[in-house]
Amino acid sequence: MAVKTGARRRRGRAAAALAAAFLAASGLAMPAAAQSGGDTVFQITPYAWATGLGGSLGLGARKIEFDKSFRDVLSDLDGAFFLSAFARHERLVFLGDLSWSSSSRAGVLPAPAPVRARGRLRQTSLTLAAGYRVIEAPGPTVDLLGGLRHWRIEASASAPALGFSETRRANFTDPILGVRLNAPIAPRWSSILYADIGGFGVGSRRSGQVLATVNYAVSSDVFLSAGFRHLEVDYRSGGLRVDTRLSGPLIGASFRF
């Protein structure tokens, strides 16, 4: 970020270090795939997310609007990586998500005459949460959670016709509140609905996500999932404005240990 206070920089670095250590120690990330039994459960889920991208990118007085389907995003995609996992001990639950993507796209600057411009956006979000299973039954289970979502955003824009080129970076951490519902559908089949909301002006103005999956138990230790995920953030500070929405279907495989 172009302008940061020492406290914000320290909070961002501390949150990132804590998240990295926690992830390495326990493999936590977003909700995993199926109803679990026993007192302790841990599973990890690599997944692919066919996300579309919408929103705006502002650098100073300049702003680029974008609204792209997954096909459009794929053509501009520089790279992406998604990993999740879930852990439970009795009624204590832990989850999170690691998402990284980098893409470039074209837009139009609001100049006196339309001027073509190009922007690049790199986003990393790491969500870690812990909570308590408030409903535990042979049927649906419900978990209430609280945690943190750390963002690292790098945005750049250029307009050769105006001789303009600029790059801004931001690291910030949002508190989040979430709920997770896991419901059996049929033998070997289950569904998960997860939602959280965060930001509250602490890091970003707001951030949040919704995830829904249908899961199939291939065996007691392997599950396949398909569903839909929406993730968004609205961040504004120091001349950098990022208001992005990522939505699309996903598929994944969970492995229980």
- In tens, the pLDDT along 73-117 reads 555 666 788 999 899 999 999 998 999 887 766 666 666 667 777
Q: Report the domain count for the chain.
A: 1
- In tens, the pLDDT along 194-227 reads 999 999 999 999 999 999 999 999 999 999 999 9
Here the CATH number for the domain that contains residue 173 is: 2.40.128.100
Please report which confidence band the pLDDT of residue 149 belongs to, taking 50, 70 and 90 as the band edges: very high
State the DSSP string of 43-110.
Answer: EEEEEEE--EEEEEEEETTEEEEEEE-HHHHHHHEEEEEEEEEEEEETTEEEEEEEEEEEEEEEEEE-
What is the domain range of residue 67? 6-256
Residue 131 in domain = yes
Residue 1 in domain = no
Q: What is the pTM of this model?
A: 0.74
Burial 11-31 (b: 16+ CB within 10 A, else e): bbeebbeebeebbeeebbbbb
